[in-house]
Amino acid sequence: MINYLDLKYFVDIVDFGSISSAARYNYIAQQSMSAHLKKIEKYYGCELFSRSSPMYMTDAGEKVYKASKVIPPHTYSLYFRHNQVLSPGAEKFIRATKEFLAQREQN
């Protein structure tokens, strides 16, 4: 299961342009940031970034990014206050995104 923090870190990787910049911004090790990204990719069953140089988002990554941007910013602070509390809306979002990507792979 992924959580809000995983999605926040994914959005930060995109917004800052690299895993290392996003890691510095969040005061975590680059390896930890990479682990969060791999967790999301494993959950959705696809790569969200091409690992070539320079790194760029795949089509699936762009879809997840757009969907992740609609999560209200206060949700991230809720995560920190309540230690991985997921609202029913968050679970529905994650499930819907996973179903969307699965349908996309079939087409």
Angstrom distance (rounded) from CA 28 to CA 30? 7
pLDDT, one tens digit per residue, over 47-91 is 999 988 788 999 999 989 988 887 666 555 544 444 444 455 566
**CB-based contact 33:13 (threshold 8 Å):** yes
Model confidence, pTM: 0.69
Strands 49-50 and 56-57: antiparallel
